[in-house]
Amino acid sequence: MSDRLINVFSTVLGVDSADLSDETSPENCDGWDSLAAMNLVAALEESFGVHLTTREIMKMASIGLARATLQSKGVDI
Amino acid sequence: MSSTENNTPNPKKVWSNFQQALERQPLPNAELFSIGLAGTFTIDPLIPYLGANLLECGLKPAFHVAPYNQIYQLCTASDNFFGGEFPSAIVILWRLEDLLGNALNQARSDDDQALARITAELEQFIAALQTLRQCYSGVLVVSTPPYPSLPSFDTTIPGQSTTGVLLHAELLARVIRGLGSIEGLCLLDLNSVANQIGLESGRDIRKWYLYKQPYSEIMWHAIGDQLSRVIKSRNISPKKVIVLDCDNTLWGGIVGEDGIAGIDLGQDFPGSAFVDFQNQLLELERQGVLLAVASKNNPEDVYEVFDQHDAMVLRRENICIFEVHWRSKSESIASIAEALNLGIDSFVFIDDNPKELAEVAAIHPQVICLQAPEEPAYLTAVLTNNALFDTAEITDEDLARSKMVRAELNRKEHTAGVSREDFLDSLELRVTAFPAQPQHYARVVQLINKTNQFNLTTVRRNRDEFDALVADPNWRIHCIEVEDRFGSYGLVGVAILQRLDEQHFFLDTFLMSCRVLGRDVETAFLDVLVDRSIAEGASFLVGEYRPSRKNALVKNLLCDHGFEASGDRWQVGAARVKKPSPFITVVRIEDD
């Protein structure tokens, strides 16, 4: 599975995109620590031209949840 | 190239570019440059921005991040941080609000006790940095504190100046004075960076709440730029010469067509932009950067502007060489380099014509080529936004360089058509040799780090490494100043000797500025060094030639001066060392 969102996570987490899915979360991905979370916010905002609220950032506890959040903001992914 | 380009950093891109650059294993021969980062807040986002900048200028960084908000612990037990080893540079970023907490809010409301507490706390902080300085000899960079990001400091009453502004200004002044008193500490002016970016766009309050990380990516980008300039100025030779085009670079229009009265230069825009640009160049010249002109024009037209245009800021005496003719700019630059005896890699070339820039770039890829933009309003940005001329310290020699170079060019005219002996004799050369004193150290360190050609071993040392030698009883640092009847060349030669044993001193460093080559000054200097070694009870001076890409000039120096091969090295005693020419007066000043 490879799409724009997965690619962003793959770059920031340093994990091959083949090993990522919507189920990937900090619990099952070693690279996803608090530092990576911080970099992810910057990368997602830049890549998709959105501004995330703290509430949205805190809810994005998996790639699937990040996808849902971005979709709710009108991003087509 | 111009500031019209939108320069918004793309963090993901910067980050992944830096990772990819590292994976390609850049600069395979460069040693790792280790950098310790510490902050009163999460400092990690700095890494890609700083790292990419350092890679670009040839330093291969390895980062170590100290635990969050442990500056005091770092200062007093620094060997526990950064994996037990001291990094080459330590960077400390901090904020008043992190260090002082609620006391800062209270001091704002004119609470005298709170103010006293703050002052005491800041003094303690500076004392801790002083402690770190004493046990750490690498490059130490500490930030100045930006305006606090606290609700009470951001609440303002329209029409009134706030006590917050006053308090910040006062604390900032105290901190700058305090940090300034710590020897060899480099300031990172984070306050100015924050002001330049704008406090609002520099902050990211969400990330502060979520990750204890206060700044936006734009701010980190700017910090990375500024910090890399500070670190680079300590480790990389700055550029020395700017070669300037004239038409549409120093003034608007074409003097050969528009005439002296028709060019744009003066109080009104667009002429004012060229005046500002010339003022920038004049300031760089004052700091020791040499200016030269390469213009395709009739020489008399160009000279007329320099000599007679009222609004010219640069005058003929500010330009060390004019190359005004119709030959190529690359030829002009080559002949300027030859006349100044400087490596072409220390040159910057500014022209408005892309074809000229391309021609120079093709022939001299080492030259930094900058385009004077078509839009005159952006002209000054060409020089403001780059670090080409950053230097760790500006010395007296820098300030007098331009004058000395012009005297040198007079000397050259003087040599035409006479024999070498006559020439040397007529110069009335005087070499004064003396052990380096504290007032010379800045210049000595500068020469150690930038002399390329006449440099026997090319050992580079930063100020801290140098200070360690000064403190060590086995090392001697000798210098020479040279003058002739045209004027002084200043401090132009450095030798560092290490006592190996009773019989031998080792010539660890022997270098001279190219300004005094071809005058047998090195012979006088080596003779003095052998005498000094004998005076200290040794019998031999031992030397070694370490080839670099640029020092072929001194390949045979030792052999030519009577040194004899001894294993891998060369040595000489009083009996065999070559004696200096009788035309040189040598003055020796001993230790006091």
DSSP state of B142: E
Q: Say if the Cβ atoms of B207 and A41 lie within 8 Å.
A: yes
Decide: helix, strand or coil at residue B67: coil
| Pick from A8, A38, A46: CB nearest B213 | A38
Query: B323 near B335, Cβ under 8 Å?
Result: yes
Name which of B414, B558, B11, B161 is nearest A47 in CA terms: B11
Query: B456 near B544, Cβ under 8 Å?
Result: yes
> What pLDDT score was predicted for residue B6?
42
Q: Say if the Cβ atoms of B210 and A54 lie within 8 Å.
A: yes
User: What is the domain partition of chain B in residue ranges?
Assistant: 11-235, 241-384, 417-588
Quick check: B470 pLDDT over 90?
yes
A23 Cα to chain B: minimum distance (Å): 22
Among all chains, which residue has been given the structure tokens 């004239």?
B246
CA pair distance B592, B417, nearest whole angstrom: 44
The dihedrals phi and psi of B241, each to the nearest 5 degrees, come to -135, 140
Residue B514 confidence class, pLDDT cut points 50, 70, 90: confident
In terms of residues, how long is chain B?
A: 592
CA pair distance B255, B332, nearest whole angstrom: 20
Listed in sequence order, the residues at least 6 apart from B373 whose beta carbon sits closer than 8 Å to its beta carbon are: B1, B2, B4, B352, B379, B381, B382
pLDDT digits (tens, 9 = 90+) for A5-22: 999 999 888 899 999 999
Q: Are strands B139-143 and B60-65 parallel, antiparallel or unpaired?
A: unpaired
| Pick from A8, A53, A54: CB nearest B12 | A8
Q: Say if the Cβ atoms of B210 and A38 lie within 8 Å.
A: yes
b/e per residue B374-400 (b: at least 16 CB within 10 A): eebebbbbbbeeebebebbeebebbeb
Q: Is A54 on the interface with B (CB under 8 A)?
A: yes
**Residue A58: its chain B contacts at CB < 8 A?**
210
pLDDT digits (tens, 9 = 90+) for B357-376: 999 988 898 888 999 999 99
CATH superfamily to which B241-384 belongs: HAD superfamily/HAD-like (3.40.50.1000)
Annotation: CATH topology of B11-235: Rossmann fold (3.40.50)
| Tokens coding A24 | 């990937």
**Residue A39: its chain B contacts at CB < 8 A?**
11-12, 15, 45
CA pair distance B168, B110, nearest whole angstrom: 13
Query: B221 near B49, Cβ under 8 Å?
Result: yes
Tally of CB atoms within 10 A around B314: 19
Quick check: B29 pLDDT over 80?
no
Query: B54 near B33, Cβ under 8 Å?
Result: yes
Residues in B whose CB is inside 8 Å of some CB of A read: 10-13, 15-16, 19, 42, 44-45, 206-207, 209-211, 213, 217
Strand partners of residue B89: B35, B139
ipTM at complex level: 0.82
| Pick from A12, A47, A57: CB nearest B210 | A57
| Pick from A39, A47, A57: CB nearest B206 | A57
Who wins on pLDDT, A71 or B386? A71
Average pLDDT, chain B: 87
Q: Which long-range contacts (CB under 8 A, 24 or more apart) does B356-365 make?
A: B356/B245, B356/B329, B359/B328, B359/B329, B359/B330, B360/B329, B360/B330, B360/B333, B362/B330, B363/B328, B363/B330, B363/B334, B364/B330, B364/B333, B364/B334
Structural domains present in chain A: 4-72 (1.10.1200.10)
pLDDT digits (tens, 9 = 90+) for B253-301: 999 989 999 999 999 899 999 999 999 999 999 888 999 999 999 999 9
pLDDT digits (tens, 9 = 90+) for B297-328: 999 999 999 999 999 999 999 999 999 999 99
pLDDT digits (tens, 9 = 90+) for B143-183: 999 999 988 787 666 666 667 888 899 999 999 999 999 98
- For the segment B128-132, the average pLDDT, to the nearest whole number, is 91
| Pick from A37, A39, A46: CB nearest B10 | A46
Q: Is A2 on the interface with B (CB under 8 A)?
A: no
B338, HSE (Cβ side, Cα atoms, 13 Å): 7
pLDDT digits (tens, 9 = 90+) for B536-592: 999 999 999 999 887 888 989 999 999 999 888 999 988 888 888 888 899 998 865
Who wins on pLDDT, B393 or B465? B465
| Pick from B13, B19, B45: CB nearest A38 | B45
Among all chains, which residue has been given the structure tokens 């001329």?
B389
Can B241-384 and B417-588 be said to share one CATH topology?
A: no
CA pair distance A74, B91, nearest whole angstrom: 41
Query: B429 near B515, Cβ under 8 Å?
Result: no
| Nearest residue of chain A to residue B214 (CA atoms) | A38
| Tokens coding B116 | 């006293």
Give the residue from B8, B12, B46, B68 with the most A CB atoms within 10 Å of its CB, the best one to mutate. B12
Decide: helix, strand or coil at residue B435: strand
Burial of B471 (0-12, 13-18, 19+ CB in 10 A): exposed
CA pair distance B588, B487, nearest whole angstrom: 19
> What pLDDT score was predicted for residue A1?
45
R_g of chain B computed on alpha carbons: 27
| Nearest residue of chain A to residue B220 (CA atoms) | A42
Q: Say if the Cβ atoms of A58 and B19 lie within 8 Å.
A: no
Annotation: CATH topology of B417-588: Aminopeptidase (3.40.630)
Residue B419 confidence class, pLDDT cut points 50, 70, 90: low
Name which of B508, B482, B514 is nearest B495 in CA terms: B508
Q: Is the pTM higher than 0.95?
A: no
Q: What is the dihedral of CA B41, B42, B45, B46, to 10 degrees?
A: 50
Q: Say if the Cβ atoms of B209 and A46 lie within 8 Å.
A: no
